[in-house]
Structure 1
Amino acid sequence: MNRYTTIRQLGDGTYGSVILGRSLESGELVAIKKMKRKFYSWEECMNLREVKSLKKLNHANVIKLKEVIRENDHLYFIFEYMKENLYQLMKDRTRLFPESAVRNIMFQILQGLAFIHKHGFFHRDMKPENLLCMGPELVKIADFGLAREIRSRPPYTDYVSTRWYRAPEVLLRSTSYSSPIDQWAVGCIMAELYTLRPLFPGSSEVDTIFKICQVLGTPKKNDWPEGYQLASAMNFRWPQCVPSNLKTLIPNASPEAIHLMTDLLQWDPKKRPASAQALRYSYFHD
């Protein structure tokens, strides 16, 4: 760590704290993530999902892991530095984004995600705080603490991601979800970029499902049979809701934008377009 000077703390999370640092060799700013638990061997470090996934991922819209350092049983990740996240960018705005800015941000998120999925990972915690940016011009996906290999076998833990961006199959405690949960989160983020307000701000998991029903309408049994099985397994009773029109909720979105959001926010994960597919929508091709 003697090749870096530390400037100030940037944040503190469950697994570690993040410090702003500078490389003494190049003079460039870096974000240093120091893990809370101790690591007694390199092997132990290399088994961490974050190391495995990020070491393999090199893309303009995925945060770059520059190096991993183990010193005195402490583990440090050195990342490229980005000045803010998408949550902060939205919070600080006084007016809505023009659609061109939303489209540019969405394009970058989907490019990064298509790359991650193509390499056999899914993120599991897509939310505005995990999208780092330098203004709306440059966005990168970060925080792979929860990323896991798509090939790895279920069951997975049902607790993932902040509740508001959590896909219905996860809210209904499915243990065999996959990359479509990232697509759902992207749909939620897209809506929020237009309105600057979360689309499904539930106060609990069940409340979040209610909020989703109020917007999308209650799913029909033959539209999503697995969802009905999950619901009955946890004794969840579907509220009877008629769908709201997304266009009414998000009046500043073009018909092409509404089309993409509607498809990303499908109850049935099998019906959500993958990132590479979403990039082919007319929304991105005037």
Structure 2
Amino acid sequence: MPTELVIVMNLAKTDLHFLLHPSKRPIRAEEKRTILYQLFNGLAAIHKHKIIHRDIKPGNVLITNEGIVQIADFGLSVPLVPGEKRTSPGGTLFYKAIELLMDDDEYDEKVDMWAAGCSMAELWTKDLLFKPSRISLMDQTRAVSMYLGFPEEKYWPRLATFKLYREAWLNNNHLKRNLLLAHALKITQGDALAANLLLKLVNLYPSRRISASDCLTHGYFTRQPPVQPNVEGLLHRRN
């Protein structure tokens, strides 16, 4: 007899996408830290239990009536089994890690960290970090490469085995720039620690990308004042 797992969660007041886009509600610096800390805390728990979420984005970051962050929508999640071949998820194009864009079939939980980095940038800019000119895998890859350059095989030996690598290489290998480094401080409005964390999250090489548990001890969160326990005030503030 077939079985299915149903996750029942408390009703949340809103989600991060709504706060950032339709409402464009101002989010204070300490509220950004709280939201991100709780997001990474949730991801650390998910990854500890060997699960890849595969669809982290502002719309799946819920905020409860008490101002607590919850990760939602596990419809695309899969078990993390080392060495197992995986299909690329549907997901949301703008938050797909570079390895997903090139159709890597042995990706791991680091795809969630990339997506979290893209979501983090939106807390400041209220816009996509990597915005393609057209909606396609190749155009999204180009949007990433315009900022980060193109990954090199000497640092990522499996790169040439990816199904879409050759096409991506022909279109983007000339892009050697690393503009995100220059713009990270601008994105985070001069917050050097936030910029450093952002760069660690959207590292082109998955093996060098920061883990969720390491995020929790990053200087962005350990500095004073301490991270607030919730963002309840954000839900009731209009400006």
User: Normalising by the residue count of structure 1, what TM-score does the alignment of the two structures yield?
Assistant: 0.69
1:124-273 equivalences in 2 (<5 Å)? 124-134=54-64, 137-151=67-81, 154-202=84-132, 203-230=135-162, 234-236=166-168, 237=170, 238-241=172-175, 242-244=177-179, 245-247=182-184, 249-273=186-210
The letter for the 2-side match of 1:156 is R
SS of equivalent residue, structure 1 residue 240: coil
Q: Residues 126, 136 of structure 1: CA spacing in aligned structure 2 closer, same or farther, 3 A cutoff?
A: farther
Q: Distance in 2 between matches of 1:246 and 1:165?
A: 19
- Correspondences of 1:73-92 after superposition (within 5 Å): 79-92=9-22
Q: Quote the offset at 1:229 in angstroms.
A: 3.8
CA contact (8 A) 2:12 2:65 kept: no
Residue 99 (str. 1) matches residue 29 (str. 2): yes
Q: Distance in 2 between the 1:95 and 1:87 partners?
A: 11
Matched residue, 1:282: 219
**Against the structure 1 CA distance between its residues 197 and 233, is the aligned structure 2 distance closer, same or farther, given a 3 Å change threshold?**
closer
Opposite residue 84 of structure 1, the aligned amino acid is T
- In terms of fraction of residues, the more strand-rich structure is 1
Matched with 2:234 is none
Cα shift at 1:251: 4.8
For structure 1, which runs of at least 5 residues remain unmatched after alignment? 1-40, 55-64, 66-78
- Partners of 2:194 and 2:165 in 1: how far apart? 35
1 CA distance for matches of 2:124 and 2:19?
13
Aligned-residue CA RMSD in angstroms?
2.2
Bigger share in helix:
2
Asked whether the equivalents of residues 128 and 189 of structure 1 are also in contact (C-alpha less than 8 Å), the reply is yes
**TM-superposition CA deviations, 1:40-75 (whole Å, max 9, x none):** x4xx233x5xx4xx5xxxxxxxxxx2xxxxxxxxxx
CA distance in 2 between counterparts of 1:248 and 1:281 reads 17
Contact 1:96 1:194 (C-alpha < 8 Å) held by counterparts: no
Greater RCO (CA < 8 Å, at least 6 residues apart) = 2
* Consecutive unaligned residues in structure 2, runs of 5 or more: 224-239
Q: Secondary structure at the match of 1:222?
A: helix
State the distance in 1 between where 2:40 and 2:118 align: 13
Aligned to 1:132, what secondary structure does the other structure show? strand
What do residues 99-149 of structure 1 show as CA deviations (whole Å, max 9, x unaligned)? 211111100100011011111211011111111113793210011111111
Q: Please identify the structure whose Cα radius of gyration is greater.
A: 1
Q: How many residues align?
A: 216
